[in-house]
Each structure stands twice: as C-alpha cells, then as structure tokens.
Chains A and B, each alone.
Chain A
C-alpha cells in the first residue's frame, strides 16, 4: 500500500480502511477501533535533567526497571552553565539536577553523555552527530524540539514527563493518529536566505496552530538540495507551527551524513540498512491530507516582531498595524506590540539590539557557525551589544576550534562559550536583563522566554544575528556583508 513515510509509524493498524503495515514496528500493537496506537519507541533521548527526574522518581515508586536501558541516551543541556565548566556549579539547583541525572543513569544502566565525555551537548544535536538518529525510527524525548530528528526520516515526538516514565518502563507510548501535510518548497533560495528563513516563513504562512493534528512532511527542490543540518533547522521548528512532528524523506544526503558515525551500522550491515532506509521514503503516488506549495523565490530574510514565532515579517517589511489588520488578529498584535515596545506599522529594520545570541538546537551546529565566521572577517561587534556564541555540542565546539572559528568570533568581539541550550530558554545563567532586546538564532520568542519577564526576543537566521551584533540594530545581513542579491554567494 502506498503512503507517506508516516505509515511506518502505525503498524498493523486499520485506519480509514487502509492497511498500513510496517516491518520496522514489528512489536507495536493497537486497539482496532481506536485512533490510538501503542507505538514502539526505537530510542528515547533523555536530555533531561529537566524532564526526567520526576519520571525516574515515578519508576522508583512503582518498583519498575527501565525496560530497554540500551535504547535510552542521556545528556545535559538546559541547565549547564556555558561559562563555568567546573562543578559544583554556582547554582545549587543546577548542580542538584545534573547529579540527579548522573545518579539515575548509573542506577538504571542508561548511557550518559556527561560533560566529561566530549560528547555532551543539546540532545537534538548530539543524537544526530552520534549517528543514533536513523531513518524510520520512532524517537521520543521530553523536549518539544525532538521534531528535529525528523530531518532523517524519523518520527520524533516531544513528550511530557509521565510519557517519559511510560517510555522508560515499556519502550512504547500511546499516540494519536496524525494527518500528513506535504509542504513543497520549490525553486532556488536567494543568497542570504537560509533554512531558518524557510521555516519562519512556513510558520508565518500557515500559523502557529496551523499544524495542529498534522505531521509536516517537507520536500521539494529546496529540501532535496539542503544539507542535513539545514533540514534539522526546519524540522526543529515544526512544533512552533503546531505540528506534532516534521520530517524529510531519507535520501543519499541522509545516508552520506550517517556513514561512519559512532552508532551508525557498520560493514555489511551498512548496505542493507541503506537499502531498508531508502524504502521508507514516501511513495511517489501517495495521497496527502493536505499539500502546501511555496516558492523559494518568495522567501526573504525573515525576522519575528512579536511574541510567537508566527508573528514575523521580511527584513524590509514593516510591523503590522492593528488598525489595518483583520479583526481576529488585532488583540494578539496589540499585546505583542505592547510587550515588544514597538509602534504600529514601524519598520523592523533599525530597531536597536542589546544582545545577540548565536546557538540553540535550531542553529547551534557547525555549519551555522562556519557560515557566520566566513563573513565576520575584520568586522567588530557593536559596543552596545553583548554577543555570545554557544556551540550546540562539545563535538561542534571541538571541530569549530580546530578550524579556528573560536578565534574569528572572539576577535570580532563575541564571547565563545561551552555547549548547551543557554539563552534559548535561560535555565542557566545566560539571561536577558530587564527589557533587553535580543537578536536570537533560537526558536521561541514567547514573553519571558529568555529569562526576563520583560525581555524581548527577535528570531532570525544566524547570519542575521551576526549582522545585528555588528550594526547594533536589526539589519539586512545581505547589506551588512555585501551579499549581492540575485548572485551566487
């Protein structure tokens, strides 16, 4: 039976008269008349100094073991300080959380990429770089940006803590049926337009709740050409568009990335794995619940102006005026303008910036840092701006330093930090102060997200963050870095 890649995920289950069969999910079972299937989770990432301690606590209380400790991997990312690499951390709560995770992993036999291993980092960066994330797998983790792993043709869910408990105890979880929306981006992105702009544009067009009930399948010429890291940037923010998961079908780019990684299949197993993975891709004739077509040429460098990721404009556009906006949006726009301290209809370009944050599971990968570094040459961060670079993992940091990127950044006036989530959600000491405005390569601009209740976040691509850092205001990176529009970079 032909169908989208998501068919893998529901095994031996009858839906809408279709018989969806998957070999990869052999042990799954489900209630025949229900919309819920009890899906086997191939691996579970526990990043989860934040979301796992309560789950382990509940297991302990119930007297249950971890059913498949070899299928759970853990690391620390949310609470680790990025400028203080020696324990005990000055924040006793952060110290307690890392100690708790270390203890739980040791007790239950779970692999822990600790800060001393050289493999620690943001869970959504570590999984792929270790080769744990593979096509066709079902992945769960107590963090909504787990959708990142969909870049490999995996079905990857962010889950709550009691679901983490259930996955630890059973290696399965109950999941509702999803519809599939195919999003095609065809054509050629202009120079200075990045994967981040693509996903911000998609969310702007479809809305922050447009994806409710859907899995997003991304495809088209732009995704065919994208590197794995670019695909991860897009899949990462699927959840910001309300989609439960987002994925790209596996292809040669996927296999090339995985080959030789520590947890990837080796030797003769590699060839059969590639053959199997290739078969997972959506069938050419499959029918989607919805199809959205976007032209790459219509996408420009995109920045948010409000308090959710869908409130975004191109850099040369103005912020909306509630008076001329549809009535249903008016209250939301007014609330956003009040928080952001923007005037209705004003230009977004030229807004003064206090902080520039380059990092996060959206844009903290090696290619993000390389792309910015190659433009920095001789330029300096504006004196008003505090600019920090937080590599997504220790492995990213190590390669970046081998390439001398840390020097390029520090010479330009950026602070070079250790790996972690840092100022994306400010659970470590990296926080905005008061109503500081941050040009950020992260994924959420919710009120209070970056640690100060009145702090202001503008989401954008890494190169746009660098442009803001250098000019001290929201700027068009194509002008700042002399990227000629319409020519090859």
Chain B
C-alpha cells in the first residue's frame, strides 16, 4: 500500500465559506456505516450540497465552474469536531488534494497526511494573501499549483517551530505512509 509521491497539486480551487466547518458537515455520521473508505466520496459535504429531498442546493460545490476542483479553501478551524478519518478520506475520494484553511484543530491535522493532501496552516497566510486567494478562486479561471517547495518556503522560516509541517511535506513528497517513520524523517530534514 505504498502511496503515490505528491510534491505538488495542480488544479481548480473551490471556496467553502465559513469558519468552524465541522467533521459532521464534511461527512455526516449517517454515511459512516462502512468497513472500507471506498464509497465516501459520494457523501462529502452531503448536506451542504443537497437539500432534504436530495436535490442540489445553490452552492459553490455544485457550481459547474468549480467542477473537478482539487483545492479546497475554507475559513478558520476547518475540520473541528471528530477525529474521524472518514472526513479527510471523503475529501480525498471526492478528488481534493489540498486544503488551504485559515486554521485547523490538531485532531484534524494529526490525521496522517499520508492520505495525500496538504493542509496549509495559516499563521503564514495573511489576511491579504487570503483575500487574494479568494479572488483568484472566484475568478475560477486560474489553475492552482500548490507545490511542496512553495509551501515549505511559505511556512518557513522557523524550522523548529514548523517542524510538523515539514514532516508532513516530507511524507507527502516521499510517499511515506507510516507515522512512525517520522522521527527519522525529522533528522533528515534537520540536515
């Protein structure tokens, strides 16, 4: 079960507005009755996308302009609530490869990035930068390239302070899936 190496993500972005987007929003618990993650993509943000009768709501996630988006932009505290891996899995199965959020709780960030997507953490993302990203997304024309190298340079300068992000990037770039390799990786990164 080696994972593909990911060093950059290129694709359309889509904005899911709001702070405190919780894990029940990302994947409602009633869709978690499964013994594999395979079918979860169908239900990501289900109640955000669908009304009670199962019809599409008016929402960016249903907007044909953002169809096939692989970069998700959201507000503060994205992924709060449960530590269920079903949430990042549903996003991944729905085709997302990167999440750029103003912030995420540790319960969400701690879920291994081996599920092949990047979470950019915000102290680096100034509000000016965020509104620029938003404008770009709303103009929907631009394709995104979110590269590990770029992300790393954005996240620096303090290697120690942001070691976590470095470790995640390293595991993404190298397709490493075991968390317990990380201390070793940290040493190589420190070189």
Contact = CB atoms under 8 A, between A and B. Distances in A.
A294 interface: no
Contact of A444 (B18, B24, B50, B85): B24
Given A209-B77, A446-B22, A162 B110 contact: no
B183 interface: yes
B190 to A, nearest CB: 5
A124 interface: no
Interface residues of A, number: 70
Contacts of B50: 453
A86 interface: no
10 A-B pairs closest in CB distance: A160-B85, A160-B111, A158-B83, A34-B186, A31-B183, A161-B85, A453-B47, A31-B186, A53-B35, A93-B33
Nearest to B112: A162
B13 interface: no
Interface string A407-448: 000000000000000000111000100100000000010111
A159 B85 CA distance: 8
5 contacts: A50-B33, A54-B36, A212-B106, A448-B28, A453-B52
Interface string B138-176: 000000000000000000000011011001000000000
Contacts of A308: 20, 22, 80
A97 interface: yes
Interface string A28-50: 01111111111000000000001
Determine the interface band of chain B, counting residues with CB < 8 A from chain A.
35 or more
A36 B164 contact: yes
Given A162-B111, A162-B112, A172 B182 contact: no
Given A209-B20, A212-B105, A212-B106, A33 B35 contact: no
Contact of B107 (A144, A332, A447): A144
Contacts of A142: 83-85
A61 B1 contact: yes
A62 interface: yes
B7 interface: no
B30 A97 contact: no
Interface stretch (A173-181, A225-233, A463-471): A173-181
A163 B112 contact: yes
A170 interface: yes
Interface string A41-69: 00000000011011001100110000000
A351 interface: no
A36 B182 contact: yes
A316 interface: no
A179 to B, nearest CB: 11
B143 to A, nearest CB: 29
Interface in B6-35: 18-20, 22-25, 28-30, 32-35
A449 interface: yes
Contacts of B105: 209, 212, 242, 244
A143 interface: yes
Contact of A448 (B19, B25, B186): B25
Nearest to A94: B33
B125 interface: no
A123 B35 CA distance: 19
Contact of B35 (A38, A97, A143): A97
B105 to A, nearest CB: 5
Nearest to B106: A244
B76 to A, nearest CB: 7
A54 B187 CA distance: 30
B23 to A, nearest CB: 8
